[in-house]
Every structure is written in C-alpha cells, then in structure tokens.
A and B are shown apart, each in its own frame.
Chain A
Amino acid sequence: MRDPMQLLNLDWHSEEWWERAFEDDISVQEARLWEKHLVQCAECRREWEALRQLDTILRTAPPAPMLDASFTTRTVTRAVQKQHLRSLLSFLGSAFIIALVAWVVLNFLGNAYVSLGHALHVVRSEWQLLFTSLLQTVLALFTGWKIILPFLLGLAALSFLLLMPNGVLATLLFLWLSRRRPAALAVMN
C-alpha cells in the first residue's frame, strides 16, 4: 500500500504545507492525514501547538489603550496649523518663482529693447545724415547759382549746337515734302 502522503503528493515538513494547514486551507482528507501525522511526529506536534498557542495569545491580546480626549483637538490644531504654514510657504515660494521669472523676462526684454533702440537710432542717424547732405547740396546749389551759371549756359549752348543742325534739316525735309505732296497725289490717282 502506498503512503497517503505520497498519494496526495504532500510534504508535511514543507513551509507551503504548514502555511496551508495553518490557514485551514486543506481538504477534509488532508486534515485527517495531518492529524495522524501530528500524533506520530512529536516535533511537528510541538511546533503546531506552539503556533496555535501563539495564535490564541495574539487573538485574545488586551486592547490597545484608548487615546485621551484632548488628542483630537491637539491633532486637528496641529494639522490645520501645518496646513496654513504649508499654504504660506507655497504662496511665498510661488511669489518668489514668479518674481524670478519676471526679473529674467524683463531683463531679457529690456536688453532686447535697448538693442532695438540702438538699431533704430543708427538707422535714424543715417537717414538724417543722408537727408541733411541732400538738403545742404540743394541749398548750396540754390545759393551758389551764380557760380554754376557759366557752366549751365555752356551746357545749354552745347545742347543747342548739337541739336540745331538736326532741327534745320528736319524743317527743310518737311518743307520739301509739303511741296512735293500734290505731285505725289496726282501720280497715285
């Protein structure tokens, strides 16, 4: 006949079995066999009884003391105080971070503004310089016209001399064509 322990594939001394047996997580058949084993094995019986005794001691332990009446008030007061302190610290922390970020941003923007101002100033200065120069040139030309008058008259005479022969030739051509027009019309008719 085979050993019932082997039949059920159980190891009475394994921790797994003890856990299950102590939790009462075993079948009726297993429980019966376990009882038999406990009768036969003194070591297991001793340990089993000690575990049972311990379980009883823990389950029947006197209750923990009751907290005194002032405990709640003290705890609530402390909790609320800490909550306020935390809120204050969180507010101060947030304010500090906002101030820091604002300082960095404004500093950056300020620098950018200054740079832009410089650039605009340069552009404006150059424009002013150009405008002033042109104005001064025109004014100089206007006020010093007598100085450049000979050059202007020379330039006009030169233009006249260059253009006049062409004008004379064009006038003669026109006159010749006007005279030849009746004869040309007669030939065409």
Chain B
Amino acid sequence: MDVDDLQLAQNGNKEAINQMIVTYQQSVFNLCYRMLGETTEAEDATQEALVKAVLNLHTYDTERPFKPWLLRIASNECIDRIRRRRPTTSLDGMGEDGAWEWQAGHSPTPEASLLQAEEQTRIRLLLETLPPVERTIITLFYWEGLSYNEIGEITGLTVSAIKSRLFRARRVMATLLVQEESYA
C-alpha cells in the first residue's frame, strides 16, 4: 500500500480504507493471536486496533513506515487486554478459544491438526509466562520478522534494550521448556 492510498484513507475514502484493512489485517491478527493466545479475543482485538487506526489516521505521519505504526496500536490494544485480564492460566493443554475446531477445518488430517493444536497451546503457554512487552517483542521478532529498529518503533525501546529483553524472555521460556521436559 503506497503513500497515496494512505493519504486517500486519511481523507476518509472508503475504498482506500478497505484496501488498508485487507492489506494489514492478517499481520495485525497474527500479532494479536500470539499475544492473546485466543482466536476470538484476537479477532476482537484486531478489529478494535484496525478501527482505532482508521479513526486516528490523521495522526499518522506519511513520512514514516505504516506497518510499525499500525502494529504499535495493535500491541497497545493487546497489552491493555492482557492487563485487564484476571490471572487465570489454563494448564490443561487445550485453549478455550476453539483453536482445535479451526485447525480441524484447515488441516489435512485429524492427527496433524491435533499436533498443530498441541504445538500452538505449548507456544501459548510459553508466551503466557512473559510480561506483555516481552511477549510483544518475541512475537514481532519471530512471527512478524521485524528488525530491531522496527520493533523499537513499535515498543518505544532502544535496540540494546530490545536485545536484552528478547534474550531474557528466551531464557525464561527456555527454563520453562527444560522444566516441562524434565517433568515429562
């Protein structure tokens, strides 16, 4: 999506807004899904973030990259939702969000779906051990493939702070992984 389209969207052009949402909705959803761990809540957060982005398009500086700006709105939305949540962690290995049903609809075999669902749950449980900002950094680094500078644009942290937090987050999750395996 180029600057002209974004300027049209800023002026309230419905076609341009539609195109903006189509272009970025999946990236925003990926971030929300990893951060929140539930499909339904991630969809709600994605919609909320995109609507907020549309309503605040006039504050976007077209000289700067659009995606980090949009993902910052989405990550703030997710962080707010995580902070509003009660500290309940599902330990039964299966999400409450119907992830299994979705996977079943898209995977070739039930076994593969089950494995994928288990993997998603495992990752979700690992991510849930992290504070919201670290969760955002891990998500942006691994699944959005953003550079440290881009992650800095979104989180407002310096590159060295991001590296440090990323490593600490990895360490926490690795420790949990070792514990998980030793219990198994």
Structural contact, A75 and B119, CB atoms closer than 8 A: no
Say what secondary structure dominates the interface of chain A: helix
Give the size of the chain B interface in residues (CB under 8 angstroms). Answer: 45
Say what secondary structure dominates the interface of chain B: helix
Proximity bits, B19-47, A CB within 8 Å = 1, else 0: 00110011001100110000100110011
Contacts of A149 in B (CB 8 A): none
* B51 touches which of A55, A64, A78 (Cβ 8 Å): A78
Contacts of A18 in B (CB 8 A): 167, 171
Interface residues on A, range: 20 to 34
Proximity bits, B72-99, A CB within 8 Å = 1, else 0: 0000000000000000000000000001
28 contacts between A and B (CB under 8 A): A15-B168, A18-B167, A19-B163, A47-B171, A47-B174, A50-B175, A51-B171, A54-B126, A54-B177, A55-B170, A57-B122, A57-B126, A58-B123, A59-B142, A61-B143, A62-B103, A62-B120, A64-B29, A64-B30, A64-B143, A65-B39, A65-B106, A66-B26, A67-B26, A67-B46, A75-B46, A76-B17, A79-B21
**A residues adjacent to B (C-beta < 8 A):** 15, 18-19, 22-23, 46-47, 50-51, 53-55, 57-59, 61-67, 71-72, 74-76, 78-80, 82-83, 86
